[in-house]
Amino acid sequence: MSKVLSVNAGSSSLKFKLFDMSNEVILTEGIVERIGSDEAMFTIKVKQEKIKKIMAIKNYELAVSLLINSLTHHEIIYDLDEIKGIGHRVVHGGETFKGSVIINDDVIKQIGDLNDLAPLHNPVNLMGIKQFMSLLPNIPNVAVFDTSFHQTMTEDAYLYGVPYEWYELYGVRKYGFHGTSHKYVSTRVRQILNKDDAKIIICHLGNGASVCAVHGEKSIDTTMGFTPLAGLLMGTRCGDVDAAIIPYVMTKANKTLNEIEADLNKKSGLLGVSGLSNDSRDIEDGINGGNKRCRLAQDIFIRRIVSYISSYHVLLDGADAIAFTAGIGENSTRVREEVLSKLSVLGIKIDHEANKVRGSEQLISTSDSSVKCFIIPTNEEVIIARDVVKLIIKN
């Protein structure tokens, strides 16, 4: 087993990384953006240089063909048979998939049966899978699910206080997301601490954001729920709200359920509170310029993170480590500073100088802090590639 391709199909994008798994080196990476447009963009890294092209890419078949052909065109590989496996990110595995699986017709059907749980994601993930299987029929494909890492949660963690029949009949429960990221970061922290049963709180903070409590290799609890809408305030998502708000605003604003759902997913969060942007960098610029609503959006964001970290610290009977990852977690010195400063009551102490880094693995707590705090850049693609290796060698 040598070369493995990790892919992530979004609603109008296709991200990819090609690994040499003998040493987990990235051979190339890139993205196809604005699929369906006459001005789509294809970016691929060749010998540390990014090559960008703007062209018409009308559908996923063309996007996948462009990616595959570029690998040999740029001599990243000389023969497509060098690729021994393709790993696909799939957002929702429900209770059907407890771990990653080699894709066959039954798996494709089962993923499709879960479309109701992730209507914006699973159908697109499936589209990517089918295109790769069609164009490269001799290469095995593996599905890696965002939700599977959280299947170790116990019933008291994943069930809601709703009629139990909702769970039995409709699968209403907490599933959790960002699983590949939480798995990678928790694995890396255990390695740093040299402690297999470490108790870790991971803050995956980006446009989508979640906090996860991990004990050893098991997810104990996480903030996202039945969908990625729950938990923290995010870029455009509301996070936790009182469910009674939905019928109330439907009546007051004469909005449909679909309109309310769109508001909660696409017009809330940092964007909704600030009225300015869903981008944390814009929020911080607004704060520096004296924008009160940007300050308010940031305060709500920080408060939610601190609240969940505190809760999970108790749940874990004292965490060994807190890790920040993803776009905001890795790059915002301000967010990390504000979060950890509010946790001083737990004996957590931030090293202000060490925290002045972006995108690098770093210990950012003092030597006398009760909990070690880290920046850990995430690598979801390598987790996908590792699962491909495990399953293909195993089979």
Alpha carbons 222 and 230: distance in angstroms, whole number: 10
What is the SS3 assignment for 15? Answer: strand
In terms of Cβ atoms closer than 10 Å to its own Cβ (0-12, 13-18, 19+), residue 156 is exposed
Going by their DSSP bridges, the two strands 3-9 and 83-90 should be labelled as parallel
> What mean pLDDT, rounded, does the chain reach?
93
Mean pLDDT, range 151-162, rounded to an integer: 97
pLDDT given at position 387 = 95
What is the SS3 assignment for 197? Answer: coil
Q: Considering only CA atoms, which of 11, 5, 6, 8 is closest in space to residue 35? A: 11
Alpha carbons 34 and 42: distance in angstroms, whole number: 9
pLDDT given at position 59 = 85
Beta-carbon neighbour count of residue 235 at 10 Å? 22
Domains, the chain, with CATH or none: 3-145 (3.30.420.40), 195-380 (3.30.420.40)
DSSP secondary structure letters along 37-79: EEEEEEEEEETTEEEEEEEEE-SHHHHHHHHHHHHHHTTS-S-
Alpha carbons 219 and 184: distance in angstroms, whole number: 12
Share of the chain above pLDDT 90, in %: 79
The predicted-structure confidence for 197-244, as pLDDT tens digits, reads as follows 999 999 999 999 999 999 999 999 999 999 889 999 999 999 999 999
Q: Measured on CA atoms in the order 92, 20, 323, 48, is the torsion positive or negative?
A: negative
pLDDT given at position 354 = 97
What is the SS3 assignment for 14? Answer: strand
Q: Considering only CA atoms, which of 110, 139, 133, 134 is closest in space to residue 122? A: 110
Mean pLDDT, range 324-328, rounded to an integer: 95
Which H or E run contains 285? helix 280-288
The predicted-structure confidence for 338-370, as pLDDT tens digits, reads as follows 999 999 999 999 999 999 999 999 999 999 999
pTM value?
A: 0.92
Q: Yes or no: say if 270 and 235 are a contact pair by the CB < 8 Å rule.
A: yes
Q: Yes or no: say if 344 and 362 are a contact pair by the CB < 8 Å rule.
A: no
Output the CA–CA distances (angstroms, integers) from residue 258 to 133, 262, 263, 268, in the order listed. 34, 6, 9, 15
Q: Which two tokens stand for residue 84?
A: 């021994």
Residues involved in catalysis? 146
